[in-house]
Structure 1
Amino acid sequence: MELDLRTVMRQFATGVGVVSTWAEEPDGADGRRHDAITVNSLTPVSYDPPLVALSLRHGSAFLADLLAARRWGVSILAAQGADTARLLARSRQARAEALAGLPAVPGRHTGALLLDGPGWIECALADSFTVGDHLMVIGTVLATGVRPPQDPLVFLHGSLTPATTP
């Protein structure tokens, strides 16, 4: 019997967010080159102390920047964030162009960009370890914020789906 984890996991709805980090770059507007990617792998690990986990593909340039900066921001996307999620699921160059046009502010604790959405988190790298073809990064939560409730954006059946809340 062949294992088909990807097909099975498409049946599991997950929230969608954007993770942002930066790399030092003297020519950047604030001395940094910002980058952001779409994720659906955000997991709370502990509430005391507050820790979250992300799983990122080995070898990605974004992961290299995150490990060097040791800081990142997470913006949870609302249902109307599907276009943003698609834009930030592209190549680094395409993400840079898209990110330049998105409304975002640097987080006070990390300098990572935070986008509009129902919630955000700022993290500092606490630990990381290899898990198959990904690196799981554990972040100490430095700051959080919520905005008025909005319908969530979820990833289900291999696509982005606006969900309605009761």
Structure 2
Amino acid sequence: MELDLRTVMRHFATGVGVVSTWTEEPSAPGGRRHDAITVNSLIPVSYGPPLVALSLRHGSVFLADLLTSGFWGVSILAADAADTARTLARPWEVRAGALRTLAASPGPHTGALLLDGPGWMECTLADTFTAGDHLMVIGSVVATGVREAQNPLVFLHGSLAPAPAA
């Protein structure tokens, strides 16, 4: 029997968000080069203390920047943000160009960019461990916020879609 985890997991709806971080770069505006990627691997780990986890592919530029800075922001995406999700799922060069035009502001606790959406959080690096071809990154949540109620964007059957109205 062949295992096909990817096909099975396509039947599990997950929320979609953007995770952002930065690295020091004196030639960049404000001395920081920002990066952001689309994720659907965000999971709460603990509410006391507040911890979340991300699963990131080994060797990615984004992961290297996150491990260097030790800070990241999470923006939960609204149903109308599918284009943003697709753009930030592209290679670094495309993401870098998009970040110059997306409406985003640095979080007050970490400096990581926060995008518009139903909710956001800022995190500091707490722990990491290898899990197969990915690195699980555990973050201490240092700030959270919610905006007006909006339907979230979800990933299901290999596609982005708005979640049904509550």
Shorter-normalised TM-score: what interval? over 0.9
1:50-61 map, 5 Å: 50-61=50-61
The answer as to 2:105 corresponding to 1:110 is: no
Aligned equivalent of 2:132: 132
1:16-165 map, 5 Å: 16-165=16-165
- After superposition, the C-alpha distances for 1:90-138 in whole angstroms (9 at most, x for unaligned) are 0100000011100000000000000000000100000000000000000
Q: RMSD over aligned Cα, in angstroms?
A: 0.5
Structure 1 residues not aligned, in runs of 5+: none
- After superposition, the C-alpha distances for 1:55-84 in whole angstroms (9 at most, x for unaligned) are 000000100000000000000000001000
Shift of 1:164: 2.3
> Which amino acid counterpart does residue 159 of structure 1 have in structure 2?
S
Output the CA distance in 2 between the equivalents of 1:89 and 1:68: 21
Output the CA distance in 2 between the equivalents of 1:165 and 1:14: 15
Output the CA distance in 2 between the equivalents of 1:64 and 1:126: 15
Output the CA distance in 1 between the equivalents of 2:65 and 2:8: 31
Name the count of aligned residue pairs.
166
Output the CA distance in 2 between the equivalents of 1:102 and 1:61: 20
- List structure 1 runs of 4+ shifted beyond 4 angstroms: none
Provide the TM-score with structure 2 as the length reference.
Answer: 0.99
Provide the TM-score with structure 1 as the length reference.
Answer: 0.99
> Which amino acid counterpart does residue 110 of structure 2 have in structure 1?
T
> Which amino acid counterpart does residue 159 of structure 2 have in structure 1?
S
